[in-house]
Amino acid sequence: MSEGESVRVAVRVRPFNAREKERNAKLCIRMEDKTTTIINVEEDKEKKFTFDFSYWSHDGANERPDGYNEPAGEGMGTDGATYADQDAVFKDLGQGVLNNAYEGFNSCLFAYGQTGSGKSYSMVGYGTNKGIVPVSCDAIFKKIDEMKASPDAGKFQYQVTIQMLEIYNEQVRDLFAKTNPTGGLKVRMNPKSGVEVVGLTEWPVGSYREIDERIETATKNRTVAATQMNATSSRAHTVVTIAYTQLELNAKGPGKHSEKKAKINLVDLAGSERAESTGATGDRLKEGAAINLSLTMLGNVITALAEKSNNPNKKVLVPYRDSKLTCILQDALGGNAKTIMICALSPADINYEETLSTLRYADRAKQIKNKPKVNLDPTEVLIQQLKEENERLKKMG
């Protein structure tokens, strides 16, 4: 995998919200298969983008008695589009993240888009329309139960831990802690394990219910506020990290165990925004400026990585250290992780500029190449390398 593996990118468009309906907004997004088209209604011009997945969640849905939104049928949406429900998004994106973790690869899934574009719906969801984070957590323990019931169950042990942080005004806060140090937690590079947040709480969890309770407690500590674009606008970037460890007992002889570790980062980015659209003033305006600045830094990193991928022989400085967000996402972007980006889109022509900006952001991200590797015990890696070298020398002889 020396040439790297591309970041997979998905886009998802939501229904009109109350504000857009009040302003008689017109639909400016069209989707067909993997292609997303944005239409400048005033100038009658179109721009097309192709991604790994284009999800139509604007219309064509039926609400079941339990409140779950499911497809009304094939081609029942505008222009023959078929509604993409939470289950379809999880099967394409969330399940892939979990499969990578079971194989020992670090994975990252992050959601990007303007304020109120539907990021949190895809990541967290509501009611029976559960998003990728809760469904992934549930699926991990179902998988463990399945493996515990297999004939080889006695050979393996499993451990799952969870961490949850937010980056607010360039300060890292532990969402599991009642109090955080002034100035926030420190972020540093550990030569063995990569980027780490010093003092971040890591909770061992034994069931989906435990994770659900932890996330619910942490979510109450998140920084949210009302803006004109969104009544519960997240004012901080949120990162949920699930560490999955699989121990194979006596794999290398009596008492010598083999360990496979993987980290799953699920990132809900605060919404990019324009002050005139959100009506932000005072603290909200300052927060918006900090959010936009860190997203600009993220954009700079994505641009640098895209250039590096397209010109492998060129020396390109990737500015990871310019913000806490890019520092924490270093492995996810151009490093040791399999990464998926989901970009949330507004369907309304009144948000045309912001939506076009999101599509361009996503288009750059798909050019990034990561170099994921299975996370094994360092001694095991050394043994494997020596075996490969031995085989190479044998062939030469």
pLDDT digits (tens, 9 = 90+) for 56-92: 999 999 999 999 999 999 999 999 999 999 999 999 9
Is residue 289 pLDDT above 80, yes or no?
no
Quick one: CA dihedral 341, 346, 352, 353, positive or negative? negative
Is 268 catalytic? The answer is yes
What is the maximum span of the chain, computed from C-alpha positions, in angstroms? 78
pLDDT at 274: 47
- Identify the burial level of 26 via C-beta atoms within 10 angstroms of its C-beta, where 0-12 means exposed, 13-18 middle and 19 or more buried: middle
The least confident of 19-23, 199-203, 287-291 is: 287-291
Mean pLDDT over 184-205 rounds to 88
Is 120 catalytic? The answer is yes
Residue 25: strand pairing partners: none
Out of 208, 261, 268, 346, pick the active-site residue: 268
Mean pLDDT over 253-263 rounds to 79
Q: Which residue has the higher pLDDT, 354 or 281?
A: 354
**Tokens, residue 130:** 């559960």
Mean pLDDT over 90-111 rounds to 88
State what percent of residues in the chain have pLDDT above 90: 40
Tokens 């790994």 locate to 52
Is 96 catalytic? The answer is no
Is 119 catalytic? The answer is yes
Out of 54, 83, 107, 119, pick the active-site residue: 119
Is residue 234 pLDDT above 60, yes or no?
no
Is 294 catalytic? The answer is no
Mean pLDDT over 168-192 rounds to 88
pLDDT at 356: 95
Separation CA 64–CA 72 (nearest Å): 10
Is 234 catalytic? The answer is no
Is residue 103 pLDDT above 80, yes or no?
yes
Q: Which residue has the higher pLDDT, 381 or 190?
A: 190
Backbone torsions φ then ψ of 62, nearest 5 degrees: -115, 140
Out of 55, 83, 121, 352, pick the active-site residue: 121
pTM: 0.81
Is residue 336 pLDDT above 90, yes or no?
no
Backbone torsions φ then ψ of 61, nearest 5 degrees: -115, 155
Out of 77, 116, 334, 335, pick the active-site residue: 116
